[in-house]
Amino acid sequence: MGYPPTGRLCGWRVWRAPGGYVPRVHTDRARQLLTASLDELDVNRRFAEKNREETTADIETAGVLGQHPGDQGTELADAEGAAALENTVAEQRRQVADALERLDAGTYGRCQVCGREIDDERLEARPEARTCREHADTPIVT
Ligand SMILES: [Zn+2]
């Protein structure tokens, strides 16, 4: 009854199921992080959509009335920023949804470039990560 018998007590590996089985990646923890992230991104997405609609409406109004010609550039920049924000949020949301799908499929936690396990620290910081640190900037060909 030595403690710990195999001693990898780094963060989320500490949790042990009854019977001493230690899961490779604590998938419940990952699911919790990903679900929370998805909820947050849904809120951000609604905000981004509303923001984009409002800035677009401003430009249309200004165009029709021919007012504030000096503001036109600023409003266009605002609209571009709002659209970019909306795209960023949509992309982040897609990555998180993908990670949840990988959890369901049982392929979560492996680098999609080299197939090695992604370390826990990285998954804790970025639960939606699809690659190990080494391949963080490698484009994934699917
Ligand atoms: Zn890798």
The verdict on residue 64 lying in a domain is: yes
pLDDT tens, residue by residue, 1-46: 444 444 444 444 444 444 444 445 578 889 999 999 999 999 999 9
pLDDT tens by residue, 46-69: 999 999 999 888 877 776 665 555
Does the residue 115 lie in any domain? yes
Ligand 1 centroid, distance to 88 Cα (angstroms): 24
pLDDT for 69-111, tens place per residue? 556 677 788 888 999 999 999 999 999 999 999 999 989 999 9
Report CA(123)–ligand 1 centroid distance (Å): 13
Q: Which helix (H) or strand (E) holds 32?
A: helix 27-65
> Whole-angstrom Cα distance, residue 26 to residue 40?
22
Domain count, the chain: 2
Query: Helix crossing, 72-105 with 27-65: angle to 10°?
Result: 160
Ligand 1: distance of its center to the CA of 132 in Å? 4
Q: How far is the CA of 28 from the centre of ligand 1 (A)?
A: 23
Domain assignment present for 20? no
Residue pair 71/61 in contact by the 8 Å Cβ criterion: no
Whole-number pLDDT of residue 71: 62
Whether the Cβ atoms of residue 100 and residue 35 lie closer than 8 Å to each other: yes
pTM for this structure?
0.70
Confidence (pLDDT) at 15: 46
> Do 104 and 38 share a structural domain?
yes
Separation of alpha carbons 37 and 96, rounded Å: 7
Query: Is there a domain that residue 23 lies in?
Result: no
Cβ atoms < 10 Å from Cβ of 91: 11
Residue 115 has pLDDT above 90, yes or no: yes
Query: 3-class DSSP state for residue 110?
Result: strand
Same domain for 48 and 95, yes or no, is yes
> Do 137 and 69 share a domain, yes or no?
no
Supply 17's token pair. Answer: 């199921």
Residue 113 has pLDDT above 50, yes or no: yes
Q: Is residue 59 part of a domain?
A: yes
Domain span at 127: 110-142
